[in-house]
Structure 1
Amino acid sequence: MKYFELTPELLNIRGQFYPVNQIIALFPGEDAARSAGRTLVEAGISEDGLSLITPEVMMRDVVRSVGSADIPLPSPGTEADTVRRFGQLAAQGHWALMIHAPDNATAERVMKTLEEHQQPPSHAQRYRRLVIEDLA
């Protein structure tokens, strides 16, 4: 499992974090996130499609990408609120996995596997082309 790196394709046109075809799942610590990643690989999810996001990287790269996106007017989408929630959990020490889920079948298999894991995610979102879907 590789460490997360923020790249331009993970941002929307306004420069905000919006990783299309990815699930972001947060866990209450490093061990839980790494264990969940191993479980996903054992369930047939490609290890190449998994990235580990530390709380520090979440705060420095992901949360910072929204900045003051909805000032002076509210954002038309939920991108900023979603990323702020990631920031709240990262500030509490949560680690995250970014999981490539290009279709419904993969997303369902990922979430079924994670829900049955000894430590299910404390929060999970699936980014689709025009929708951010609450998963956990």
Structure 2
Amino acid sequence: MDSSSSKRKSCEVRRANVIYFLSRDGRIEHPHLIRVHHFCHSGVHLRDVKRWLSELRGKQMPESFSWSYQRRYKDGFVWQDLTDDDLITPISDYEYVLLGSLLPAAAATSAPSAVTEQSKLNHLFYSGNLTSCSNKLIINH
């Protein structure tokens, strides 16, 4: 295979399935599915998913959530937290699974009395019962 056909193949547009769950007040909604066409050579980043969601559900929607994606780890799966520039690895061929957790500020505007998991973690952290150590959370009892 010559380099020009290799370049052409790496720039193909692929259809990707993005399955995402939204978590509000500790409750996870039924899954949502969006199908998008994407250049496979660059991979899928969180900023791409946020752009697609903005087009479908409004500009504020993706920014109201913190995002993680499901990835393989040892013999199972874990949720890995994401920033906008993070590359998301597919769970299978061109299929991505994400979880959006409503941020406390967004929860306060939609339901002022709601207590979210994030606000519980913030309380533990500021009360000294939670320590962050190289991306791992340790709860002190």
TMscore range, shorter length: under 0.3
Greater helix share, 1 or 2?
1
TM-score, length of structure 2 as denominator length = 0.26
TM-score, length of structure 1 as denominator length = 0.27
Greater strand share, 1 or 2?
2
The structure, 1 or 2, with the larger RCO (C-alpha pairs under 8 Å, 6+ apart) is 1
- Larger-gyration structure (1/2): 2
